Amino acid sequence: MSDERTFIAIKPDGVQRGLVNKILGRFEDRGYKLVAIKLVQPTESLLKEHYSDLTSKPFFPSLLSYMLSGPVLATVWEGKDVVKQGRAILGATNPLASAPGTIRGDFAIDMGRNVCHGSDSVESANKEIALWFKPEEVMSYKLNQFGWIYE
């Protein structure tokens, strides 16, 4: 089993639309282990740091406004190839390009309301986890179903 971790955030539209349970369930059903979770109202400074690579983009002000519009459910998931597989579970960033069966393919239409964020690499996952969670907020435990998920 891998101890690779990824950061998945359910954005304000996902929280407001009551999709939290359905989204968390996709990761649990797949066999990934939830190791951190909290509902937060992100600050502008947190979001500017989180999206630092996008601050010069013309859409950044609307992204910032959208992400400040309500609570975000921040989560950390652990398991084999979880960064890549987490992105596959979410679907393409543009929901119209997302396959049915993915979170965005099932629950979103516009890119500006795409329900979730997922880390795009192990490096960005580590950075995002450290940004959103204190080390003591990320749990380490053995999942009881471990032997039924991993060889």
pLDDT, tens digit, for every residue of 66-92?
Answer: 999 999 999 999 999 999 999 999 999
> Residues with Cβ < 8 Å from 11, sequence gap 6 or more?
66, 67, 72, 113, 114, 115, 116, 117
Give the rounded percent of residues in the chain with a pLDDT score beyond 90. 93
> Is there a binding annotation on residue 59?
yes
> Is there a binding annotation on residue 142?
no
> Is there a binding annotation on residue 104?
yes
End-to-end Cα spacing for the chain: 8
pLDDT of 73 reads 98
**Active-site residue identified among 35, 72, 117, 132:** 117
> Residues with Cβ < 8 Å from 63, sequence gap 6 or more?
51, 54, 57, 112
At 17-71, the pLDDT tens digits run: 999 999 999 999 999 999 999 999 999 999 999 999 999 999 999 999 999 999 9
Q: How confident is the model at residue 146 (pLDDT cuts 50, 70, 90)?
A: confident
Asked about 50 being catalytic, the answer comes back as no
User: CA-to-CA distance for 84 and 8, rounded, in angstroms?
Assistant: 12
What residue type is 44 in one-letter code? E
> Is there a binding annotation on residue 133?
no
Q: How confident is the model at residue 1 (pLDDT cuts 50, 70, 90)?
A: low
Quick one: DSSP state of residue 32?
P
User: CA-to-CA distance for 151 and 141, rounded, in angstroms?
Assistant: 18
pLDDT (average), residues 104-109: 97
